[in-house]
Amino acid sequence: MPRVTESYREARREEIALAALRCIERSGLGDTTIADIVRESGLSAGAIYSNFTNKAELARYVVAHFLGVRRTRIEDGGRRGEVRSPRELLGTMLSTFRESVISPAVPLQFWAAAAVDPGLREELDRTIAEISASLRIAVAPWVAARQPDRDLDEVVRGITALAQGYIVHVAVLGPREVDDYLDAMAAALPERD
Amino acid sequence: MPRVTESYREARREEIALAALRCIERSGLGDTTIADIVRESGLSAGAIYSNFTNKAELARYVVAHFLGVRRTRIEDGGRRGEVRSPRELLGTMLSTFRESVISPAVPLQFWAAAAVDPGLREELDRTIAEISASLRIAVAPWVAARQPDRDLDEVVRGITALAQGYIVHVAVLGPREVDDYLDAMAAALPERD
DNA sequence: ACCTGAACACCGTTCAAGT
DNA sequence: ACCTGAACACCGTTCAAGT
């Protein structure tokens, strides 16, 4: 029988996860210690372990709650039939990193960790599948209007990969305009060789 | 005065680094412990620390020695004036991962670590700069012959980013043919919107 | 000079005791 | 029921003692 309400418990989990996110931003996932999160949250080690079974579950929670994108923002125009090009959609998606709530280094940390942690990888796959579903709705009008012979899913995979590539590129090599990045990709990929 | 020759010392460093590389491949960089490397190498903790100042320096050594590409293999054709498209060059570069000496998860581990370790980042920047220099030589004939109006450096940046994107994509989402990947990128990036 | 392996400070996690 | 903080097993690194 819970003594506190479920929403109180959820609020505390989010409080801990946000403290963890700030630490990860600063030190990376591997170098963020429970002691760091204790300090940042002002709670105790026990408090963290009574809300999460371990560090790995806390990491999965961070992915599920802070690494998605605001779906509606991407989907809405598509539902209304608005024609938005992949370029525009990428601009919208990646603007999250300019508003700098989360630095591109954060997803990179989680991708690297997912490569050796199947549970985290599953959580990330779920997140990526959700983003792909939103993109599919968003880009459908453009494909219908401008590239009717293209496979919609291939375009969606392309956008997903471009977003992923941009994030890593920026995290590893420093800030870069989305448009400049896309121009460089286009320059290296002419329609025919 | 060194009692052993410099080349003996270098051989031992490489021996340790190769053991570390096998561990990283298996467990990721963060989860590879010195004890793991001790086990894998058959040496002692002290032996590792008498050859590297710490784990970070060992990581930098691994980058410098195993994360480059065989430059000659990429450059040679370009020097001879052979016209090779970005697509062909990417195929050559990325074939390293098919021959599976190193899995794409390995560079991803190092990129993530570099985001929070300036020393490692510097080493990676050096590696990327070297690869870019090779690519510049390799792709110059193609740019001259097929895309004379394109900026050569922009094409090189594009190829670098495509390679980086492919590596992350494959490490996170599983195996994928280079050509399929490039087709998806091209589908999302028409010459004009 | 280089190596061994025990020792040290710190990490993730647990758990008795509090509220 | 949830939290505190001391305790435990294990991590990266050091260093006296060996060759």
Among chain B residues, CA nearest to A182: B189
Q: Are A34 and A46 in contact (CB under 8 A)?
A: no
- Give the DSSP letter string of A37-81: HHHHHTS-HHHHHTTSSSHHHHHHHHHHHHSS--HHHHHHHHHTT
DSSP at B149? T
Chain B interface, best mutation among A84, A89, A109, A185, by max B CB count within 10 A: A185
Which DSSP symbol is given to B81? T
Q: Tens digits of per-residue pLDDT, A61-112?
A: 999 999 887 788 888 888 999 999 999 999 999 988 887 778 999 999 999 9
pLDDT bracket for residue B1 (50, 70, 90): very low
In B150-192, where does DSSP find H-type helix?
152-173, 178-188
Q: Is the per-residue pLDDT at A37 higher than 80?
A: yes
Is the CB of A190 less than 7 A from some atom of nucleic acid strand D? Answer: no
Q: Which two tokens stand for residue A55?
A: 């560090």
Taking residues B92-104, report their average pLDDT: 85
- Summarize pLDDT for B60-71 with one digit per residue, the tens: 999 999 988 778
Q: How sure is the predictor about A1, in pLDDT bands with cuts at 50, 70 and 90?
A: very low
User: What percent of chain B stands above pLDDT 90?
Assistant: 81
How many C-beta neighbours within 10 Å does residue B82 have? Answer: 12
In the structure, how far is the CA atom of residue A105 from the C1' atom of nucleotide C13, in angstroms? 28
**Confidence band for A27, pLDDT divided at 50, 70 and 90:** very high
CA of B39 to C1' of D5 (A): 35
Residue A171 touches chain B, beta carbons under 8 Å? yes
The mean of the pLDDT values for chain B is: 92
Selected for mutation to probe chain B from A157, A167, A181 (highest B CB count within 10 Å) is A157
pTM of the model: 0.92
**pLDDT (0 to 100) of residue A43:** 97
CB pair distance less than 8 Å for A172 and B113:
no
Is 60 exceeded by the pLDDT of residue B193?
no
Least confident of A94-98, A105-109, B78-82, B151-155: A94-98
Chain B positions touching A123 (Cβ under 8 A) are none
Q: CA-CA distance, A87 to A90, in Å (whole number)? A: 5
**pLDDT for A177-186, tens place per residue?**
999 999 999 9
Give the pLDDT confidence of B117-132 residue by residue, as tens digits: 999 999 999 999 999 9
Which residue in chain B has the smallest CA separation from A164? B165
Contact A112, A48 (CB under 8 A): no
Please state, in angstroms and rounded to a whole number, the distance separating the CA atoms of residues A79 and A138: 7
Strand C contacts in A 27-46 (CB under 7 A): 32-35, 45-46
Kindly determine whether residue A161 and residue B185, on different chains, have CB atoms separated by under 8 Å: yes
- Among A170, A181, A192, A163, residue whose Cα is nearest residue B86: A192
Select the residue of A27, A113, A181 nearest B161 (Cβ to Cβ): A181
Three-state SS letters, B86-110: HHHHHHHHHHHHHCCCCCCHHHHHH
How many Å apart are CA A186 and CA A168, to the nearest integer? 18
A116 pLDDT higher than 50: yes
Continuous H helices in chain A: 6-27, 34-41, 45-49, 55-66, 71-79, 86-98, 105-114, 118-146, 152-173, 178-188
The answer to whether residues A148 and B187 touch, using CB atoms and an 8 Å cutoff, is no
B189 neighbors A189 (Cβ within 8 angstroms): yes
Decide if A183 touches B, using CB distance below 8 A. Answer: yes
- Residues 6 or more apart whose CB falls under 8 angstroms from that of B131 comprise B68, B69, B71, B74, B93, B160
Average pLDDT over residues A122-145: 96
Residue B184 near residue B125 (C-beta atoms within 8 A) = no
Geometric angle at alpha carbon A146, from A131 and B180, rounded to 5°: 55
Q: Residue B191: pLDDT above 80?
A: no
Partners of residue A158 in chain B, C-beta under 8 Å: 184-189
Question: In chain B, which residues have their Cβ closer than 8 Å to the Cβ of A182?
Answer: 189
Tell me what pLDDT residue B96 has.
Answer: 81
CB < 8 Å from A in window 122-141 of B: 124-125, 128
| Nearest-angstrom CA–CA distance, A24 and A26 | 5
